Each structure stands twice: as structure tokens, then as C-alpha cells.
Structure 1
């Protein structure tokens, strides 16, 4: 296997830049560049030199002896001064060694998976952590990266393997001293796993919303102040405002961090009857996006009714409190009156949606768990038919076990890996 290297920090000038080297030749390669390496998992200041002995830079050097490293291989890191010229020179020098090459995107993490340092769910959690923009996303990604879901999956797998073993022992040794009726223990095991699976599947939608972000649509008639409200919430001129009704035709999106939750605010076209072809398309798009949004904020003139039936947690506001003099839920995007109350209401509604988040954060996780649960439900149904059908029950359990093993990447994961690791940078 090749030894790989890459810059592990962002490109460009910085206080410190890190180069990571991993593989069977990592120790020997770095030894030639710095003379002596420190003891594993300790740092030392070393002079980094090229193959001719020319001085490149002074760096902190750390050696992680495999398998106690991120990749499970020998890993060495150079913490260099953050000069573009220094980084380029060190990378060029590393590339001159035999069997040493620049890493592909995500290759360090892929080796961690292949060497059993991470499971596939943890890899996805690491990708989510790198992409995290808000506190809720960071906390959720860390839970996944910690291996909590993988631990749960392994527990479910052990229970299903135990249930299948009981059934197969009954089938294989029916004439020997083995209990014939194992249905009670098997039923108990399946019931427990099924309950856990259902809970995790139910929590996947909320977890995905935290990972991808919640959508909040501002909905109302033309010229009611939706774009002004969006600009006030965004703290900048994100949308054009005008006294002319129908200025907004497309959906304008603004991304923001609201109480640690990732939120995309949608300013939609004013909803009204129109003969203008472009405005009709804008209204149709507004209705579609509002219907699919996680939360709707209806901004209405005093006598208006919502163009869509509000759901339980939707927020209904009265516009232009600077003109009417009314208090919240009347609001003014122009003066900012009621904005703090609105933000609190949005946070409260979205926090309720986020409260049910489980450990599974991707549609892939939910699909694998649903497949496993389908096997369990079929097994439970056939279990009631008696010992003559235990072979079918056992086969259904194997389907469930297979789905769980796919979930954590034990088997049949190769077709997923290129797509997953492509999202990583070179040094990860």
C-alpha cells in the first residue's frame, strides 16, 4: 500500500499549516526529513530538510504509531509556519520519495474505515461535522461521530443473531436435547429491536432537518411587507423592496443561524389572482414552497385571511404595526417592532421539531433501518405460525441482519464510498 500525504489545513497563508503523512513508509520518510522523530504521541521541534540537506522550515513534529492513530497506520504530522512557499516546498519534497504520493480526497478517512477505526456512519458524521455551521449541527454530528449509532446497531445485530441462532438450533437439533419452543425468547428479542428501530426511524426526519437546515416561508399578499421583514430578519438588504405590488416574483432565500439551528428564510411572491403569466408562475412557486416548508410565517393586512390553512405551529402576524399602532402579533419590518418576539416564536416552533431528532441523520440510515424492520415484521408474523415455519423466520432475520451490516458499512458498501469520500478535502 502507498504512503499518502496532504495538507490538512486550508490552503493559503496562515499562522500554522499542517501536513499529514500516513502509511507504511510514513516513519522512514519523515525520519529522512527531520533526522529523529519524537516518541509516539508527543511533540518535538525539528528542522525539516530536503533530500540534499537543504533547510526548508522549523516545525513541530508528532508521530502516531499505528494502529493507535486516526487511520490505523503510522501517521506523522508536520506543523509548519503557514507560508505558501514552505507548504509547496514540503509537498514537493514528499512527492520525491518512492511509494509516497499525494492523497486523494477523503483517503485518510477511507483508510480509517478500512482499518476499523471508524464505521461508515461515523465517516458520515465526520463529514457532517466538517460542514457544520451551527451549534445544533455540531452537537448532532459529534453524537454520530462518537459511534453512538454504531453501538446501537451492533446491539440490535447481536439480538437478531441470537434470535436466529435459537431458531436454527431448534431446526437442526429437533431430535436432540434442545428446547423445541424458543418462540417466547425470540419474540422478546424481536419486539425490543423493533421498538428501538421504530424510534430511530421516526427521529430521522428531524435529524435530517438539523443537518440540512429548516425552511421558514414568509407568506402573504403582495405589498404586505414580506421582503421588508426578510431584510430585517437577515440584517441586510437581501430582497428588493418597493411600493409596487408584485415586486418579488421568485423565491429569495436567506441562510441564518437562529438559536443554534440552521434556518433558511424564504421570501415568497405575493399570493393573489393575476393574469400576468410570470406572476402566476411566481404565485404557484410560492404556494409550493410554503406548503413544503417546515414552518410558515403568515404576514397579513388587518382584514386578510391566510392564503393557506395554518398548521398548529405556524405563526400568524399582522403587518405594519408602525401604521396601526398595534402590538405583537402585529409587527413592523420597517421599524423592527415585534422582531424579537417573532424570532423567539420561530425558535420555539423549530425547537419542537428538532426535539425528536434521533442518531440517524441521513436518508440512507432510515432506508437501511426500514429494510431491517421489514425483515423483523415478517419474522414476527411467521413466528406465530409455529416451529414448522422457523426456517422462514430465520431467513427473514438474516435479511434484517444484512441491512444493519450495510448501515455501518460492514458489507456491500463499496458503491457508496466514492460518493461519500468525495466530499472530504485532501487532508482528511
Structure 2
């Protein structure tokens, strides 16, 4: 019965948005209320659950998305994105641009959290798409597939790192195996799959694409690249520094502060304000005007993501994940497959890859120990399962839909399918490694 209620709520959400043309934020609030009532959440807890879900997801994303939008806007209007796009296409060639995007996404995705990588790389994707009149989804999906895979498979990202700790796996071995699995997963879900989507209609947000500037008005190549990748460089530097200096070092608190993604973006946008703004002949009111325009453009996206957080929290508070986990625990199947399946179903029901992964640990850990299953492979099996079939209760789904300006149907056919390919290829790779090791 619980599963039918969840399916009904998801179907209701899609109908409200697609057929009734209700704004997604309002649709999420209505469906979250209905889900709380139908799943038996106490009446006096429903409003608090909705508010907590909105607060939790915005607390982690509002700074990143807002500053990322400001940063991306300036990179676009200054001509830096135009310069970077030209350099990349000249180096890779238009025929290989999907592979170039995939490679950039993989390199960027290792140190960057998915949300940061998304908001920083989308302006680059759109600049290439508009400048060379290429299909947006087919060009963008390989990079986003790479970001998603690194987020789900590879330490030091939060979920894989937590799984390594709780499964008592080896961080180095898990990272090594994860890279072995990540490469085929990214290739199949990225360039191979996206090549089938070249005719999918998409008009990405034009906020991140400026009018083409003449060559003599563009910032230099070094300035453009250095400013655009400064957040990545800062995160990599602070990650290295955190290992170089022990926790007892007096510098450790400073490193921890500078390593926070919100602080990194504050530093980056301050630098960009001068390197791509003031030093390029613009005055401060002009630059601030760009930032205001960027915030206006992404305000609706923030509301939609907030709504997805409300539904996720209601489903979590009703104990849906625990119910399904308990049912699946009694299935007699290979532990790696079972771990993947539990994580996948919780992900589909709740929407959060992190919640799916961490919830699965408590259920599968005793089975893993009793069956002497390789803990490094279990980390990857659960991580792959936690990425399966991202849909309307996942903020990543709405980020992709709104930035690429897709219909709900086409977001399912592109984003959701891509995430599912990653999950199944990851499982296949885990089983192959298990048969070899």
C-alpha cells in the first residue's frame, strides 16, 4: 500500500506540473501535504516536516546556486566563456566536443561536489552550445554524467566517504576500483547515450549566454581559464592542505574555513569581480547589475528545489525507506546485488542519493560481514544503486530540467535514463570485479 501511495503522489505531481500547469513549487507543497496525510504522518508534524525539508535543502544549496549563478553570469557577459569555448573546440574539434566535455567533467568532478560543479560548468556548456549551434542536451549530458558518477562512486565525496568508513573499507582501494568503474559508466551514460539525444529540443537559460563579442574585447585566455577554474583550484589546494597539516595544527581551523564550498565561491566571485569586471573596463554598478540579473533568473529554480526538499523530508519522516529496506532484507540474493537494490529503491522513493546510501548501510552491513563480501565493492554497489532513476523528488532532476529548459517528459528521457545507465553499469562493473578478485 505504501508503494502505491508513493507512486500515486509522484503521478499526481507530474500531472499537476505537466497537465494542470501548476508551478512546480506549489505542486510540491500540495503533494507533500497529501503524502504526509496518506502515509500516516501525525497531523501536527506535517507542516514542520515540509518546512524542515525546505530549510535543509536550501541551507546547503542556496549559497552555492546563487553565487554560482552570479559567477557564471560574469564569466558569460565578460566574454571569458566565449574565449574558453573557442579554445576547447579548437583543441578538440566539433566532432569530439562531447568527449572533451566528458573529460572536463571527470577532472572537475573529482574535487568538486556535484552542485558546485553543475552551476560552474553549465555556463561553459551553454557558451559552446550557442556559439557553435550544437544540441544542448547532447553536449551537456556527458559532462553532467561525469559529475554524477564522481559524486556517487568516488571518495572524497560525502556519500562514498561515509560508506567507506561504515563498511570498514580501504579508502585507496575503493578509489582505485571506483575509477575503474567510473570510466565505462561515464562513457556509456555520457557520449554514447547522449548521441541519441541530438534532436531533443532544448533552449537553455540565456542568462548564462551573452552576445558574442569581437575578438579584441575578449579577456585573455589565461585570465579566462584561471578565473573560471579558480574555485576548483582552491578546493584542490585546501583538500591537499587538510592532509598535509594534522588536526592539531593551528592552521587546521583556517584550512577548514577556506575549504568550505560557500567560502571558496565567495573568494572566487570576489576575484572575478575584478579580473573579469573592473579590470576589463566595467564599473562596480555594472558588475552588480549582472549579479542581480543572475539572481532573478535562478529564483524560480531555488523555489522548485526547495519544493523537492519538502517532499523528500515528508517521505523520510514517514519511514518509507525503513519499510522498504526491511522488506528487501529478507530477499535471498547475492549481497552486492542486494545492497545495490536496497539503495536503488530507497533512492527512487526518497530522492536523496546520500540518504539512500547511508540508510542501506545498516541493513546490508550484517549480511556483508556474514557472507565475507568485499567491503570496497559493497561501497561501490551501494553508491551505484543510490544514483538509480533520479526523478521528480530529486533536486538534481529539477536543476537539469530548469537550466536546460526541458519538459518533464524529456527530462525523464534524458536525465533519468542517464542516471539509471550509470547505476546499472556500476552494478555490472562491481559484479565483474567481484568475479576477478
Q: Normalised by the size of structure 2, how large is the TM-score?
A: 0.19
Task: State which structure, 1 or 2, has the greater radius of gyration over its C-alpha atoms.
Answer: 1
* Highest RCO, 1 vs 2 (Cα 8 Å, sep ≥ 6): 2
Greater per-residue strand proportion = 1
Greater per-residue helix proportion = 2
Q: Normalised by the size of structure 1, how large is the TM-score?
A: 0.19
